[in-house]
Each structure stands twice: as C-alpha cells, then as structure tokens.
Structure 1
Amino acid sequence: GMTRSAAEGCLGLEQLTLQDCQKLSDLSLKHLARGLGRLRQLNLSFCGGISDAGLLHLSHMSSLRSLNLRSCDNISDTGIMHLAMGSLRLSGLDVSFCDKVGDQSLAYIAQGLDGLRSLSLCSCHISDEGINRMVRQMHGLRTLNIGQCVRITDKGLELIAEHLSQLTGIDLYGCTRITKRGLERITQLPCLKVLNLGLWEMTESEKVSVTEILLPRYID
C-alpha cells in the first residue's frame, strides 16, 4: 500500500495514476495528501476501496487541478460534499459511473467547485433538477459529459443551453429521453464543437431534421 514514507519520498510529484488499485484505502489517501503537496493530476479510477472518508483527506490539496474518480462506486454525495467544502481549485472532475452520486452532488459542486472547466457525470443518478441546481454557478464549464444519465430530458438541455454559454463539448450518449426539441437548443450554443449522440433513438423523419439542424453549423 501507499505508506507515509513512500509518499513523502516523492515530494515533487505532479501527476499520479493509481487506476484499478483495488487495495488502495482511505488511509492511503491520507498519506498521499500529506506527502504529495504539489500533485496536480490524480487518477483514482476503478479504486473500489476508497470511500467518502478518503475524499475528506484530498479536499485540501490546493495544487490539485484534475481528479479522476471514475467507477469508484463507494463514493456518494457525501464525498462530493467533502471535496466542495475544502480548499480545492479543480479544473477537471470525473465521477462517471459513481452511481451513488446524484442531484445533491451537483448542488455541492455549484457551491464549492464552480471553477471547473470539465465535468464528467456519465451514468450518475442525476436528473433535470440537479442540472437546475448547478448551471447558474458554472459559467466557466467547457466540457460536460452526461452520457447514460437516462433521467435527463429536454428541460435539462434547455437549462444547459441557457446558462453554459462557454460549452465546447457535450456527451449525450444514451440519453434516451431527449428529443429533437432539446437538441435544437443545445446546438445553439455558440462555442459547441463536440456533440456525442450515440444510442439516441430517432425516427427516420427525426434523423432528417436533426441532420438539417447540425449540418449548417459543422460545415461552414
């Protein structure tokens, strides 16, 4: 495991990937946070042994800019609260496939992590209500990944289009409840360059009309 002496021996480390380290514990994160004060990027994806308590240790790593917690499935809204109430200045956060992360997390993110430029929430348990609680504070957001968030509807997309004017990329893969109406609003975002619509159930007539919406934007 990550011991205190091991962590303190790498004081200048700026980037650390511990992906799929199943034995990594909350105590490991305590040593890591104390010993690696200059860390800018930390990838803990698929580390199933860490919980909300571990995120409390990370919440005062003021040099940290990018945190990947993808598929850390013991992380919940409480862990996101710890991150948001600390002294982090994150620009990138990935909590995709953390299925205990819900709308309350988005309220915490809006309160304490409003400097994010990239936020990934794929397959999280979020709805239009969570989007509503987040978008007004997140004006700097450039990339939003909400693929497989099956509760999101056109209402959520309208909120995104109205408030996240800097957005350059959005992932809507598998968002099966959105329709052409919501998509029309999203494509009016002035900076949008990347749009993922995989698994979207469309009728033939919708396919034609969606093509008509998208083509003028991406061909000019």
Structure 2
Amino acid sequence: LGQQHGASFKFSYFERLTDDVVLRVFSFLSSTHLALCSRVCRRWHVLAWDPHLWSSIYLSGENLPTDRALKSITRVLGRASPPFCPAVERVVINSCTRLTDRGLQTLSRRCPELRHVELRGCVQLTDVGVLELVSKCVHLSHLDVSGCSQITCIDAGPRSNGNNGDRYKSDLSSSSRPQLYLQLQYIDLTDCVSLEDTGIQMIVRSCAQLTCIYLRRCVHITGINN
C-alpha cells in the first residue's frame, strides 16, 4: 500500500497492473494458491479462474479434502461449458491420501480432454475409479499411479459388480468379452503391491500403444505369459 501527498487515500500497486500482467503472475501459482487468490476481490476472482490458467491442476497434501476440492474446481471451470472443463489436460495429485474413486469419477466426467494424470501415493484409490478414468478420458496417454497400493489392474473390459478380484476370474482370451483399447503409452505402477501377473496381462492387452511401463517393487509379479 502507498500514500499520495500525505493523504489518507491508500492504493495497491498491484491494482495498476493490467489484466494480462496479473494473469502472467497468476500463471506461476499452484492450483491451491489460485483458488485462494480468487477469494481476495471480484477482479481477482474473475482472473484467477481464467481457463488458460487451468490447463493443469496440481494438488498435494495428506489432509487436503481432495474429492471436494476437485468437485469445487471443476464446477467453477465448467461454468462456460457445463458440465465439462475442456481446458484441463493435466492433473497431478501427490500424496493426497483422502482422494477416493469419487474424485476420479469427477475428473472422468468433467475433464474429457485429460492427457496426463499423476496420482502418486493416493492409497484409497481402487481399480474401479482408475477404470472409469481411463475409459472415459479417451486421449489419456500418461498415467502414474505409483504408490496406489490397492490397484491390481488397469482393465479396459467391463466392470464386475463384485469385488476387485472377481473381474479377473473370467477367461482372458474370451472372444465374447468386449474390448476397449486404451491410448495409454506410459504407465507407472511402482509400489503397486497388490498387482499380480494377471493384472499385467490385462494391461498389456488393453494398451496396444504402450511404450513404457514401470513395475518397481511390485512384489507379487512373478512372470508374464504371452
């Protein structure tokens, strides 16, 4: 704040900046800080939610209510073209232990243009949420679920109404099983300790364009039969 000629009038130097300059400054902020800036004043609210700032969403923190955060962010971003957020192409979520399949459902339904998703250390995620994400975001090519200990497969086939293991009891080679080929080229499954050989077989069969897969410390993998 500053004063002019000793008067009591105070002004913010930031207010002198043009919208383009403010947007440039905001472009260096994380998603969390952008959301906080949007609460400062009406002008900042409009600028902080400019779609050009939200091609990527970055969230982190064990205590962050991630499902609610994703719902709130996508609701605001989807105002221009409800309920979709076509500008969002990249999502990075680190160590958000409160992220669940419900949060992934929000992303899959509202961010159809996703191409790059990192969900590292999100231990509550299961196959159901990941399946919905990769099935509905048809342009998705990069997926990192390292440290998601409940993941057993990234299966493009139909979902089972039973538990996660039930869907693998059917014959993998069954011709009657509808097959959806995913666009995934990169998958990181490091520390996915529930992953087994059957899950790897399904991933390979569903991802015809796969060029890179990481399986570090996947302790139950013993071998892959072609």
Task: Compute the TM-score of the two structures, normalised by the length of structure 2.
Answer: 0.63
Shift of 1:111: 3.6
State the SS of the aligned residue for 1:74. coil
State the SS of the aligned residue for 1:132. coil
Per-residue CA deviations over 1:147-187 (Å, capped at 9, x if unaligned) read 1111111101111222212111111011011113x1x64xx
How many percent of aligned residue pairs carry the same amino acid?
18
State the SS of the aligned residue for 2:140. coil
Establish whether residue 161 from structure 1 lines up as the match of residue 204 from structure 2: yes
Structure 1 equivalent of residue 154 of structure 2:
131
* TM alignment of 1:89-104, pairs within 5 A: 89-104=113-128
Q: Unpaired segments of 5 or more residues in structure 1?
A: 186-220
RMSD: 3.4
Shift of 1:101: 1.0
Instruction: Classify 1:56/1:88 alpha carbon distance in 2 versus 1 (closer, same or farther; 3 Å).
Output: farther
Contact 2:134–2:182, Cα closer than 8 Å, also in 1: no
Q: Which structure has the larger Rg over C-alpha atoms?
A: 2
Moved over 6 A (4+): 29-34
Contact 1:41–1:64, Cα closer than 8 Å, also in 2: yes
* TM alignment of 1:1-220, pairs within 5 A: 10-11=22-23, 16=28, 18=30, 24=32, 28=36, 35-38=49-52, 39-46=54-61, 48-59=63-74, 60=78, 61-128=85-152, 130-133=153-156, 136-137=179-180, 139-180=182-223, 182=224, 185=226
Instruction: Classify 1:154/1:164 alpha carbon distance in 2 versus 1 (closer, same or farther; 3 Å).
Output: same
1-structure distance, mates of 2:25, 2:137:
23
2-structure distance, mates of 1:123, 1:133:
21
Contact 1:147–1:174, Cα closer than 8 Å, also in 2: yes
The alignment covers a number of residue pairs equal to 172
Q: Unpaired segments of 5 or more residues in structure 2?
A: 1-14, 40-44, 79-84, 159-178
Task: Compute the TM-score of the two structures, normalised by the length of structure 1.
Answer: 0.65
State the SS of the aligned residue for 2:155. helix
